[in-house]
Copies of this chain bind each other. A is one copy, B any other.
Amino acid sequence: MNLFNFLGKRGSAPVARERLQIVLAHERALNGSSGDLVRLLQEEILAVVAKHIKIEREMVQIKLDRGDSISTLEIDIHMPAEPAVAG
């Protein structure tokens, strides 16, 4: 998974929307915690972002991938070009 592919092809056309992508990857030791750290962090990280920019739920895509030893969480937030600053 290449983060910049993740951002999609950037043609020369100016981007109408802004985009924030957050990827968390938790590599657990074999005897490590089986806890779901990335899942645990998800809501709180979204809350941190929401303090700074106005985000609408439907503009947020979340993908969680649990491998044997690596769990990955991808949060993709589309924002209007001029993100309304929260609050």
Contact = CB atoms under 8 A, between A and B. Distances in A.
A23 B3 contact: yes
Interface string A59-73: 000000000011010
Nearest to A22: B24
A83 B48 CA distance: 23
Q: In the assembly, how many copies of this chain are there? A: 2
Interface residues of A, number: 44
A25 B3 contact: yes
Interface of A: 1-4, 6-7, 10, 14-33, 37-38, 40-41, 44-45, 48-49, 51-53, 69-70, 72, 81-83
The 8 closest A-B pairs by CB, nearest first: A29-B81, A14-B30, A19-B27, A44-B48, A15-B29, A2-B2, A23-B23, A21-B25
